[in-house]
Structure 1
Amino acid sequence: MSDTRLLASPGFRLFWASDAVSMTGSYVTTVAVPLLAANVLQATGTEFGLLRAAPWLPYLLFGVVAGVLVDRCHRKPILVGADLARFVLMAVIPLLAAFDRLSMPVLIVLTALIGTLSLAYDAAHQSFLPRLVPREQLADGNARLHQTDSTAQMVGPALAGALVQAVGAAAAVLVDAVSFLLSGLLLARVRVDEPVERPESRNLRREMREGLAWVYRDPVLAAMALTGHVWFFFNAIASTALPLYLVRVLHADSLAYGVTVAAAGVGGVLGALLSTRLGRRLGGGPVIVAGHWLVPLGYLLVPFGGGGIAGLIMVGAAQFVFGLGIGIQSPLEMGYRQGVTPDRLQGRMNATMRSFNRGSLVLGAALGGVLTDWIGLSAALWVGIAGLVAQAVAAMLSPLRTIS
């Protein structure tokens, strides 16, 4: 019944479609860009870590400010403008490659610029859904979005692997550029009532403090935020080492790489399908905690896989379990966050959590790159796994378990 009501909303349907197109293109890039860096530009481990960190650096620098600005503005124009600008910047990558002008420093800078636009987009995107659907449908709406995200995670990497083999890594990036254009055009058609509270006097510092206080003074939101920061830090270490492990230890070609990474999408689709059902039956808290545990359990499969086909199969299984954990956890967390936060604070709440999470990712990815050069790929993976186990223990003992 809730799905029927969701799909009856033209605004949600267009929003959902734009998300599907954009995410499919973005998952093509998650395969094409690492392969471009590793195989064409011959990136070192440290350069690879910087590339992984680059799109998230703006979240660390400007994330909380972006939340304030989103709460002051209409969110639809931000979404449309960011998509169209990302289309232009993403198209520059294959253009430079075609003229042999692409290098790792240039790729890192372009990735950081695209990340700046994504910061604005994400802050508005997470705050836009509560204006399209009523509060009681937020968990279901987020579950549908996550299912689409996970489906894109299945299709995008496999498509990218085939495209890279057929036309090269740089040309494959064009798919993501076009997806941003199509997403922006779809979002431009969404009709939504966007009232904006306009206080008589605006104080950027006070508004930032209000957003931070809302997140970190609430016991459940604070637990969600802090365990998330730790999760992103150690997952960034592991996920920086993993692509290089696939290419340089398991010698995966582009198609095998893409199919292996796509297994996370299979797990994510299953997790998102089960998420709200499990939440209603078992309670949101236990399901969220289970999701925190599944991620390190998935990564544990990688070091025991050995080499060759067996190693690739184990990495695929690890990706599946990883995606399953995120799939059952994320819709419930997002629905809770959006449900308890007033509209005037939605942008600041989402940007606060996302900026510090992405800031943790920046530090973790940079450290992960250095660790792969310093102690090796396998050891770097173990550092990431150990930290993810620690955050799962913390989540289990935190107020997260009390979410109904």
Structure 2
Amino acid sequence: MRSLRTALLPSELGRDFGKIWPASIISNLGDGAMLAAGPLLVASITREPAAVGAAAFIQQLPWLLFALFSGALVDRLDRRLMIVAADIFRATVLAGLGAAVLLDTSPLWAIYVALFLLGTAETLADNASGALLVSAVPKEHLGKANARLFATGTLVQLLGGPPLGALLFAVGAGVPLVFNAVTFAAAAALIARVAIRPPLPERPGTALWSEVRDGVRWLWAHAGVRTLACSILVMNITFCAAFATWVLFARERLGLTETQFGLLVSVGAVGGLLGMPVYHLLEPRVGSLTLLRAGLVIETTVHLILALTRSPWVAGATMAVFGVHAVVWGIVSTTARQLATPEPLMGRVNSVYLLASVGGAAIGSALGGVLAQNFGLAAPFAGAFVGMVLMTVVAWRPLRHVSVRRTPAADPVAD
């Protein structure tokens, strides 16, 4: 038991990682349950593709509105307390919505309002979590920490969570919401026990917008981080456009039941579990550049296959391969960004990157619903394939600036 614990939580990752990691696992389990239960809840009220896609867009909209200012607040305030407050707020919103759904008193607009509130809290919690990790784990071991977070996040959010969410939804439409509320409350209790208190920088009289501008300028001047931000923007526009109506695609084009849809959502995690060992095996041998370029090819191919297939087995196998790519890409891009960014700018640079990431997802979700409504459920995947072909051509050479080897953080890489 001691050797297993040492293998999972080696001392070089620091004691606080032993609280950050379980908190991530617990909250990811609740989020994973909602990956299946959320779309099923909206689809039980409306079958309009545009309305289903709008639910994802509304939860992501706060990233477009508030992400940059959330990043500046993360650099000003206690990151630990910010995560705790955001998790408690999300637990309260989910518990209230779950009770309303169980009592059959929650119209679609109320679900939209709750999703917007959850997305707003997420802009603070996700940004602060990334910054807190950098404060808690020595920089030379961030790759190990990120690999564990991505691997278990994939396991519980994509493999365990969706079937659980579909099962809980069958018990009662509001039950998965209440379950997610409990997971956020438990995660908040763990993060509250984190001991590290990064010193807060002094910014007497500095305007919040001026601090935001500093983060934007730094990211744009750094060729590697800028390329990653632009890449994730396009990748999430195409991916979320394709998957905005995934629940309808699975039901009507692949012919799956609600329970089978939960399994399809989770099948990507089977591949995702291989992402951590694949990263550790290949990155020292082939380098981050090869892994990122291979990821572009894989993601492009995934969209093409799903645009053409009607077989749930082909779709499932395709998503398993995508799971490996998603975890490897996530580990490489996150570690490279954390190593390159000066810690006083961590929140603001993260906020610009997350704006591109989740903002792209919001744009894609809205676009995907419209495409599916007007051209059919396979059309968003065809459009995503074309978009990824163009992005792969544009990003191929600039990705050479990205590395997970530690470099001087204050020296932007010139084009």
Q: What range is the shorter-chain TM-score in?
A: over 0.9
Which residue of structure 2 aligns with residue 25 of structure 1? 30
Question: How many angstroms apart in 2 are the aligned matches of 1:337 and 1:161?
Answer: 35
Provide the residue aligned with 1:320 in structure 2: 320
In the TM superposition, residue 2 of structure 1 has moved relative to its aligned partner by 8.6
Structure 2 unpaired stretches of 5+: 1-5, 406-415
Structure 2 residue identity aligned to 1:321:
V
State the identity as a percent: 27
State the 1:243 CA deviation: 2.0
Q: Which residue of 1 aligns with 2:163?
A: 158
Q: Which amino acid aligns with 1:289?
A: R
What amino acid is the match of 2:19?
A: L
2:101·2:173 contact (CA, 8 Å) conserved in 1? Answer: no
Note closer, same or farther for the CA distance 1:70–1:287 as it changes in structure 2 (3 Å cut): same
Determine the structure 2 residue equivalent to 1:52: 56
Query: Is the Cα contact below 8 Å between 2:76 and 2:200 reproduced in 1?
Result: yes
Tell me, in whole angstroms, the C-alpha distance in 1 between the residues paired with 2:346 and 2:11.
21
Alignment correspondent of 1:174: 178
* Cα pair 1:2 1:137 within 8 Å, conserved: no
- Cα separation, partners in 2 of 1:96 and 1:4, compared to 1, 3 Å: closer
Contact 2:60 2:358 (8 Å CA) reproduced = yes
Residue 376 of structure 1 is matched in structure 2 by 376
Query: Structure 2 counterpart of 1:317, which letter?
Result: A
In structure 2, the CA distance between the partners of 1:282 and 1:143, relative to structure 1 (3 Å rule), is same
Residues 268 and 320, structure 2, Cα contact 8 Å, conserved in 1: yes
2:358 corresponding residue in structure 1 = 358
Indicate yes or no: 2:217 matched with 1:213: yes
Paired residues for 1:104-183 under 5 Å: 104-152=108-156, 153-165=158-170, 167-183=171-187
> Is structure 2 residue 62 aligned with structure 1 residue 35?
no
State the Cα distance separating 1:276 from its structure 2 match: 3.2
Q: Is the 8 A contact 1:78 1:121 kept in 2?
A: yes
Distance in 2 between the 1:312 and 1:80 partners? 40
**What stretches of structure 1 of length at least 5 have no aligned partner?**
none
**Distance verdict in 2 for CA 1:58–1:382, change over 3 Å:** same
Q: Deviations over 1:184-230 (max 9, x none)?
A: 11111111132111123312222111100111111111111111111
Q: CA deviation at 1:381?
A: 1.8
TM-score normalised by L of structure 1: 0.94
Instruction: Give the C-alpha shift of residue 399 in structure 1.
Output: 3.2
The runs of at least 4 aligned residues of structure 1 exceeding 6 Å deviation read none
Aligned positions of 1:89-100 closer than 5 A: 89-100=93-104
Query: Which residue number in structure 2 is paired with residue 229 of structure 1?
Result: 233
CA-CA distance at 1:7 after TM superposition = 7.0
Asked if 2 retains the 8 angstrom alpha-carbon contact of 1:276 and 1:332, the reply is no
Number of equivalences: 398
Cα distance in 2 for partners of 1:389, 1:299 equals 10
The 1-side partners of 2:40 and 2:8 are apart by 38
* Aligned counterpart, 1:280: 284
* Structure-1 separation of matches of 2:399 and 2:160: 36
Deviation at 1:181, TM superposition (A): 0.8
In the alignment, which residue of structure 1 is the partner of 2:258?
A: 254
After superposition, the C-alpha distances for 1:166-195 in whole angstroms (9 at most, x for unaligned) are x03332222211110111111111111321
